[in-house]
Homo-oligomer: A and B are copies of this chain.
Amino acid sequence: MIKTIIGEVDFLESLRGKSATFILSMASTKTANIDGITQAGIKGLMHLTPILDAEFLCTGAVRSLSNIAETPKGVPTPALITRAVHLLKPYRNIELLNLGVCHTPKVSYFKTYSFELNESGSIDTGAKIDSESVFKKGLDFGQNLNLDSDYLLLAESIPAGTTTAYATAKILGYDADGKFSSSYKDAPAGIKKDIVEKALQNANGAQDIFEKLGCVGDNMLIFNAGLILGAIDKNIKIVLCGGTQMAAVLLIVNSILQEMGGEISSSNLALFTTKWVATDSNSDIKALLEMLDFKINAYYADFDFSTSNHPALKLYDSGEAKEGVGAGGALCYAFLNGVKKADIIEQIESFLKQ
């Protein structure tokens, strides 16, 4: 039910039956307002997607808008998958990181960390992120991280995040072309490439790594690179839940280690994603992970909607949406705890009937 993308199965197996804290990084980049760049939300309201995802994940209802964030074609948010798993086999805790969304989700009782960050700029004109400060906030959070569970599922929700991730990998010198995923089935390679090229041109004068990240990155990427480096020595098992964006977080970690001449023991680090990302012919997450100088374990949940009759869910199988809100990580967590595929599908379908 879970397949290996890269690495050994042992790390995965060591997590069977273990409890997990689910942390959702919510961030926003003005890049999402560029026409045709993302379908992760409602046009003109992309900045609300992470907030709505968090509300639905925590409470089963969206409170900052009347309906669940749907894409123009009606692809429902992957938060449905993450929530369904929570109902069948709850995470030990759900916590939220406000990495620059316009307001905190309207939920009580769920730990929400704020870091005084704002939405970052559109990368075609410059993200304008004080990336060293964001990185340090992540580092500090990681160093002080205390889980009352066995491992961390670290997820993200940030529309247009694959575009900033692509630009970030490129500016750091990685061979990134054609390797980054998209929320579209027919990835808008043209628009995306144009934007990334503009971003790189604008960032031309950037000298060091943090200047570069500040021009073309986003707060999710930079903060979580810090988080990993802060927590890595604390013997906490961290699973990045996401697709090529989370691979980009690892590439940032890799570049920082290269710059500092540092090394890490990555034996407590892994990545979980969906089948839709892992088998996507328009991107190549495995190739991105193979560029790391440290060993990494990555896996995907062998889950699809082939046995569902719901047309909105079928869109996932045809390549829309693919990943987000830790859907792939949630599915792996479910399978690691004996939850059945059929029960997950039934639960997701029940949300769409309401």
Complex partner residue of A11 from B16, B17, B108, CB under 8 angstroms: B108
Complex partner residue of A13 from B16, B58, B89, B339, CB under 8 angstroms: B58
In the assembled complex, A342 has its CB within 8 A of some CB on chain B:
no
In the assembled complex, A87 has its CB within 8 A of some CB on chain B:
yes
Is A90 within 8 A of B8, CB to CB? no
In the complex, the chain B residue whose C-beta lies closest to that of A16 is B90
Is B91 within 8 A of A9, CB to CB? no
Chain B min CB distance to A57 (Å): 10
Contact residues of A between 1 and 29, Cβ < 8 Å to B: 8-11, 13-14, 16-18
Contact residues of A between 81 and 134, Cβ < 8 Å to B: 86-93, 107-110
CB contacts (< 8 Å) of A108 on chain B: these are 8, 10-11, 14, 267
Is B90 within 8 A of A337, CB to CB? yes
CB contacts (< 8 Å) of A92 on chain B: these are 17-18
Q: Copy number of this protein in the oligomer? A: 2
When A14-B109, A109-B14 are in contact, do A9 and B61 touch as well, CB less than 8 Å?
yes
Which one of A13, A110, A337 has the greatest number of beta carbons of chain B within 10 Å?
A13
In the complex, the chain B residue whose C-beta lies closest to that of A87 is B338
Is B90 within 8 A of A9, CB to CB? no
Contact residues of A between 34 and 78, Cβ < 8 Å to B: 58-61
In the complex, the chain B residue whose C-beta lies closest to that of A347 is B338
Chain B min CB distance to A310 (Å): 21
Number of A positions contacting B (CB below 8 A): 30
Chain B min CB distance to A106 (Å): 9
CB pairs A–B below 8 angstroms (22 shown): A8-B108, A9-B59, A10-B59, A10-B108, A10-B109, A10-B110, A11-B108, A13-B58, A13-B107, A13-B109, A13-B110, A14-B110, A16-B86, A16-B87, A17-B89, A17-B91, A17-B93, A87-B338, A88-B338, A89-B338, A90-B337, A108-B267
In the assembled complex, A336 has its CB within 8 A of some CB on chain B:
yes
Chain B min CB distance to A213 (Å): 33
In the complex, the chain B residue whose C-beta lies closest to that of A148 is B150
Is B11 within 8 A of A109, CB to CB? yes
Which one of A58, A61, A88, A90 has the greatest number of beta carbons of chain B within 10 Å?
A90
CB contacts (< 8 Å) of A109 on chain B: these are 10-11, 13-14
CB contacts (< 8 Å) of A16 on chain B: these are 86-87, 90-91
CB contacts (< 8 Å) of A110 on chain B: these are 10, 13-14
In the complex, the chain B residue whose C-beta lies closest to that of A92 is B17
In the complex, the chain B residue whose C-beta lies closest to that of A17 is B90
- A 241-253 binary contact with B (CB < 8 Å = 1; else 0): 0000000000000
